[in-house]
Structure 1
Amino acid sequence: MRTRSNASDNLDSLRKREENKHDSVVFNSKYIKVTSERLLADSIQLFPLDTGLVNFENYSPLNQPRNPKISLGYPGTAARDLLFSPRKTIGFDEGLHALDAYMVNPQDLNYFNARAPYTLLSLYSTIGGTKEQIFKTLHTQNIKPNWNIGFILNFNGSKGYYSTNNIISQNVSDLTAGIFSWYHSKSKRYNLLANFLFNNLKSPETGSILKDTIFKSANSSFDKTGEPVRLPSSYANWKSTGLYVKQFYYLGRIDSLNKGKTGTANVLPTQRIGYTFYANQRKYNYLQNGLDQYGAFPDYYFTAARSRDSLNVFHLQNDFSYSFYLRGKSGKISKNELKLDLGLTQDFYKVSQFVADSVINQFGRKVIQPDRKQNETFQNITLKGKLGYRFSDRIYLEGDVQQIVQGRNFGDFLYEAKLTLAGGRKTGRILLGAYQQSSSPGMVYTNWISNHFIFNNDFKNQKVTNLSFNYINDALELDLKAEYFLLNDYLYFASQPNGIDAAPQQYGSAINLLKISIGKNLHWRKFNFDNYVVYQKTDNASLLRIPEVYTFSSLYYKAQIFTLKSQFGVNVRYNTPYVAPSYALSIGQFYNGQDVTFTSYPVASVFFKATLERTNIFIQYDYVNQGLFSNGFYTVNRYPQLDRILKFGVAWTFYN
């Protein structure tokens, strides 16, 4: 009896120990794996969550070190790339992209495998005001080991410096919300990616402040928030609502890499069939109340005191694909691996355009109401093909073809080829690329009816030919890229000399552009020096208004302060002077207007950032050198950028 009692006690003790051990598990980022639609294209790939401090202080989409933008002054306002970067798409295009930097699209989302519920809360703001104020929420969790769900909720309530606080239309008000899910069968043969996204972006279009000499000391302002603007009640409101569902199923044998090992695990299919459904409703609205007293517009066509321009686009897409992979029996990525992708995409569009017009109603009164000016439906059928061949684990050749064979944009195409030559970590790798593109003009260039602009043009397709060389060495932290662009029938907006009557135009001759970029990081003990330099040279600088040189450098010192993993440093960005573009209100277009070249000086920011357990924080004094070389700067004609200001950011991470 005593022996049985001891055995029972020992068993109870072991059970209790196991239960206590389970309860004491501390969840961290190792329990969260992340992937994306792009990483799932050819195999199932999962990577650890990145919780580091790299680029944490550069939260604004306007000030990304390798993708800077010019804008109307602060996050949420109309923006355009500072560096030359043509759109690499074909088919129907509205031609409206001024707020693209703030849109969240289905391909932008990450998908997770979360063994513990994961929440990320981020807040970025100016200290002592709401000049910039951005809040982001992400939550995800597995409801089954093979089924993950999550949601995002983002707000931008930035006001900028030059806004009248009691006029709501002069403030940015962005809301982005969405839910997403990733499901895969236990056999990993079937995968489903789904998301529902809603974007509601409100961007002020005030025509800027009246005082164009704001940075001259003799005319500086005591309170810049009270500066009068040309259009106090004028703004653009873009809305996008979309449902995206992507399914694919693996046929035949499934090869696995790193099976049974920790870390990154890839599942490599031998065949795959896929289907994607996408339904999206986009609305581009421009609203103006009050008379144009200061001549911000060239003219009006319907009503002088009120604009209600609206473009509604309903897009329905069905995409079918088949992929075939031929590799050795071992299932490893080795030589003589062949990949063939075939696809067909149907795009259906319904496009309607409205303006507010003065009409006589049934009672004989003159009223202003929406009047539909355009209404059409059409479709495109696109054939897609991709062929890849791996000569060895170091040499890979890939070709990609997209051709619209039927529909409104018949004849559009994108042909691309890539060659990867990979060495070891110390040797680096070389990527050679080339593509040729022919894309139809955007709707705003050819058929546009609004209160202040009406266009009816017949333009040719714009053609882009590109050659590129890219050398990447991870051991040296070196990234060197050279690109050559040949542009034919280039489309752009321009005005009459010194005018504001922006209109689409097409340049018939060829334009050449060379773009060379170098990224190099240096380290000495705890000092770090990260650099990125871009050189752009074109034979038509008056047409392509871009700086010849752009640089971004970050010098920082890593230190351990008690339990804080910290970095102290300074970021400096600079570009050479260039002829600044102007901005056309209500149609969201940067155009070649007055030939104004602003002086250009470095813009420096000092920062401190640190990690404390599950929290990242930073404090940054942006444009700290204001007044040293100049009192302020412009990137777009008439639109002053933010003054020096103290900012902070915090990102809280929770693993429940």
Structure 2
Amino acid sequence: MRHLLFCMIGVFCISLSANAQFNRNFGGMGGGKMQIDTSNHEHEPDTLTIRYTFLGEPTEYMIDSSILDFTKNYLGVPATYISTGNYGGAARNLLFSPRMKAGFDAGFHAYDVYGNYHETAKFYNTNRPYSELYYMIGSKQEQVIGVSHTQNRTEKFNIAFDYIKINSPGYYRSQVTNHDRYRLTSRYHTPNKRYNIHISYYLNRLNGGENGGIENVALLDDPAYTDYKTIPTNLGGSTISSNALFSTNIPTKSDYQEGSFLFQHSYDWGRGDTIHVNDTTDYWKYDPRFRIQHTLTYTQNTYRFLDSNPDTVFYPQHYGFSVSDIDTLRSMQRWKIMSNDLSIISFPILGNQAHFLNLGATIDNVKGELTDAIADFYNFRVHGEYRNKTRNKKWDLSAKGEFYVLGANSGDYTLSGSLSRYINPKLGNITLAVKNTNQEPYYKYKFFSTSEKFWLNTSFNKENITKLSFIANSDLWKYNLSLNYFIVTNYTYFSDFQTSAQYNGVFNVLQLWVDKKFKLKSFTWLAEAAFQQIHGSAPLQLPTIWTRHRIGYEGTLFKNLNLFTGIEAKYTTAYYADDYSPLFGQFVYQDVNKINNKPDLAAFVHFRVKSFTAYVRGENLNAFLWTNNLNAPLYPSNNFAFRLGIRWWYIN
């Protein structure tokens, strides 16, 4: 604790120095978000304007500097997710959120929430070099290190880089997580703005310890096991794993490496004009009428499971094969995907790039190297999109379609449409949306192999999922509401640790989500709740109600100190929580062990002083009151944990 206190004092002193520089360059920040200037003219040298977009999305976004949500804004994990007990461990969403994406999918998604992907790549435009630094330290030597930087080398060229390291030994044996994720994005346009390039690269190195759960939940209350590291686990052996920030030994682990490079370039035909800003400043404005766009994507994903000390009871019991005569159990899948897409885009109205028609075709070449097999196939698909976001931003119409016409996934498709209308400040925005997907089940549902055994199941039909949505939100009334209705046919799942199955009937899921901010002077109550109900006898288990509440003081002190402090509580009604199959990296259906948890409690102090933000948290306070809650059968949550996280942004 002495070292931790010195670290806190040092960080605060550094922040005071940084804030002085921040005041000179930034001009201060009083609101919850950094101000964005979407104009094209030159800016004053002592102000920062920064904005970003996503691929294929014309909307510009600003950086969120809110201190209200530590889980979302700092850890990057939605509050509705639960893991196998440790930050960085295999995780899933408690809200029904099925994959709705046509085409090939290997099926390894237990660690997705910690990774980078092209869909979330941010392409920046900023008038000043901008950087962010992250550091978090927690109990049991938990650490997170992050750095982010973006700058425009010229008005035509921007580059951005992100790196995040997550290292968490956890509270239980063989539960270490050690993740590294990298992202590089860049955009460029020629001086006449007719030729544009976007580049996105990411690399996720995800290493998660797999302990198969503790041997007996009753040991949590046994006084002989006050140190939870001594509780026997089903995998990982009796030796406690060694751990260091950059050197970690994990005897039983899922080792995922996902890397992808995307290069998109386009050429426009349209009309350009010189805009006169003042006596010394002009800029070139170009409005496209027609565009040809080519996108090349190369992806290589490797998914490994490694157990250097396989348990002689766990594997025969759950997977049906003996490991008594082997030293190491292995499983590996490596997938290489090369995609080439050619699209033509028409802009009916000059000056509104959010109104367009996109038609294109893509060919995907897929090669797989498995533990004892090779796969080689292709897919050819066509796609189209119509988007009309009006200049006054009151209407937003979107219609998309993607069809797999040839190849291994022929017959797959995704259709979606949405209509949004901004009504007024009180009623805010209302959206109606529909999405329908016909898709091949995950590849690992059909074939999976290890060094000792393989599984083959080719009897599956295509899954069909329809989602109907009503969404409403208002910044004035500070609420978000969404009502989703799912219609699912041929639902594919794991009925136990090793058996994939398909439910050929039809079932429905009704899902209601609402969050609301209540404010009375400096008293703040942030309430979130979800209700879910299944219609039909589906092999699916969901909590009926999930809710989270953050209650406390929110205000500004001494002009520059933005403070939010109080308590946080999360609660889930009793349900048959999915079990977890470590060999397959898959959450599996079970209806034997019903989990009835008490609320998760935390106390927090979040504050921001100009460019410096700190999160001070005491989590899992409920461990002082009752036995640790269970996230899955035999997977208890962590014990009480202290966390200190800082975020520091500045102009170079």
Q: TM-score, normalised by structure 1?
A: 0.84
- How far did residue 36 of structure 1 move? 2.5
| Distance in 1 separating the partners of 2:304 and 2:256 | 6
C-alpha distance after superposition, 1:416-460 (max 9, x if no partner):
121223212223222111121100011111122223552232200
CA drift of 1:48 comes to 4.2
Counterparts of residues 411-560 of structure 1 (less than 5 Å): 411-450=411-450, 451-495=452-496, 501-540=497-536, 543-560=539-556
Pairwise CA distance, 1:489: 0.6
Alpha-carbon offset, residue 192 of structure 1: 1.5
Note closer, same or farther for the CA distance 1:88–1:256 as it changes in structure 2 (3 Å cut): farther
Amino acid of the residue matched to residue 191 of structure 1? N
Q: Secondary structure at the match of 1:215?
A: helix
Aligned partner letter, 1:634: L
Return the offset for 1:544.
Answer: 1.3
Q: Cα–Cα, structure 1 residues 541 and 480, in superposed 2: closer, same or farther, change >3 Å?
A: farther
Contiguous gaps of at least 5 residues in structure 2 = 1-22, 28-33, 35-46, 237-250, 279-283
Q: Name which of 609, 615, 618 aligns with 2:606.
A: 609
Name the aligned partner's letter for residue 98 of structure 2: P
| 1:15 aligned residue | none
What one-letter code is carried by the residue in structure 1 that aligns with 2:565?
Answer: F
Q: Residue 347 of structure 1 aligns to which amino acid in structure 2?
A: D
Correspondence 1:649 to 2:645: yes
Question: Residues 537, 282 of structure 1: CA spacing in aligned structure 2 closer, same or farther, 3 A cutoff?
Answer: same
Equivalents in 2 of 1:73, 1:520: separation in Å?
28
- Count, aligned residues: 589
Partner of 1:314: 336
**Residue 175 of structure 1 pairs with residue 175 of structure 2:** no
* Deviation digits for residues 331-365 of structure 1 (CA, Å, limit 9, x no counterpart): 469xxx963110111111111101xxxxxxxxxxx
Asked whether the 8 Å contact 1:569–1:608 carries over to 2, the reply is: yes
CA distance in 2, matches of 1:584, 1:506: 18
Tell me the amino acid that sits aligned with residue 51 of structure 2.
V
Identity between Structure 1 and Structure 2 (%): 24
Q: Which residue of 2 aligns with 1:568?
A: 565
SS at match of 1:626: helix
Shift of 1:63: 5.4
Instruction: Call closer, same or farther: CA 1:113–1:60 in 2, change over 3 Å.
Output: closer
Paired residues of 2:366 and 2:378 also in contact (CA < 8 A): yes
Q: Which amino acid in the other structure matches residue 386 of structure 1? A: E
Q: Describe the shift of the 1:389–1:257 C-alpha distance in structure 2 as closer, same or farther (beyond 3 A).
A: farther
Counterpart residue number, 2:228: 224
SS in 2 for 1:457: coil
- 1:126 corresponds to which residue? 138
Q: CA deviation at 1:535?
A: 0.6
Which secondary structure state, in structure 2, belongs to the residue aligned with residue 593 of structure 1?
coil
Q: Which has the larger radius of gyration?
A: 1
Measure how far apart 1:540 and its partner are: 4.3
Q: Are the counterparts in 1 of residues 292 and 343 from structure 2 also a CA contact under 8 Å?
A: yes
For the pair 1:99 / 2:111, whether they are aligned, the reply is: yes
Return closer, same or farther for 1:25/1:338 CA change in 2, 3 Å cut-off: closer
Structure 2: which amino acid aligns with 1:88? M
Structure 2 residue identity aligned to 1:648: L
Shift of 1:181: 1.4
1:157 paired residue number: 167
Amino acid at match of 1:623: N
Q: 1:240 — aligned with what?
A: 258
Which residue of 356, 359, 364 maps to 1:347?
364
The 2-side partners of 1:598 and 1:522 are apart by: 31
Amino acid at match of 1:222: T
Q: Contact between 1:117 and 1:655, CA under 8 Å: does it hold in 2?
A: yes
Contact 1:60-1:75 at 8 Å conserved across structures: no
In structure 2, C-alpha distance between the alignment counterparts of 1:518 and 1:341, rounded to whole Å: 34
Displacement of 1:225 in angstroms is 1.9
2:321 aligns with 300
CA-to-aligned-CA distance 1:601-620 (integer Å, 9 cap, x gap): 22121110111232100101
Paired letter, 1:460: N
Q: In the aligned structure 2, how far is the partner of 1:156 from the partner of 1:633?
A: 23
The one-letter code of the counterpart of 1:173 is N
Amino acid at match of 1:278: T
Partner of 2:93: 81
Between 1:245-254 and 1:645-654, the stretch displaced more is: 245-254
CA contact (8 A) 1:121 1:652 kept: yes
For 1:592 and 1:298, locate their aligned partners in 2 and report how far apart those are by CA, in whole Å. Answer: 15
Q: Which residue of 1 aligns with 2:69?
A: 55
CA spacing shift, 1:138–1:304, aligned 2, 3 Å: same
Equivalent residue runs for 1:27-66 within 5 Å: 27=26, 30-38=47-55, 41=56, 43=58, 46-56=60-70, 58=72, 64-65=78-79
CA distance in 2 between counterparts of 1:517 and 1:412 reads: 30
2:202 is matched with 197
Aligned residue type for 2:385: K
The structural deviation recorded for 1:79 is 1.1
Alpha-carbon distance in 1 for matches of 2:286, 2:553: 41
1:626, distance to aligned residue in structure 2 (A): 2.7
Q: Equivalents in 2 of 1:349, 1:590: separation in Å?
A: 26
SS in 1 for 2:119: helix
Residue type at the aligned position of 1:223: D
Q: Which amino acid counterpart does residue 562 of structure 2 have in structure 1?
A: K
Give the letter aligned to residue 34 of structure 1.
Answer: R
Match of 1:210 in 2: 215
- Partners in 2 of 1:125 and 1:541 — Cα distance? 45
Residues 488-512 of structure 1: per-residue CA shift (max 9 Å, x gap) = 01001013xxxxx431000011011
Determine if the alignment matches structure 1 residue 323 to structure 2 residue 332.
no
Query: Partner residue of 1:640?
Result: 636
Q: How far has the Cα of 1:389 moved from its partner?
A: 5.1
Q: Which amino acid aligns with 1:605?
A: A
Counterpart of 1:652, as a letter, is W
* Cα offsets for 1:40-73 (capped at 9, x unmatched): x364x654433332323556758523xx122211
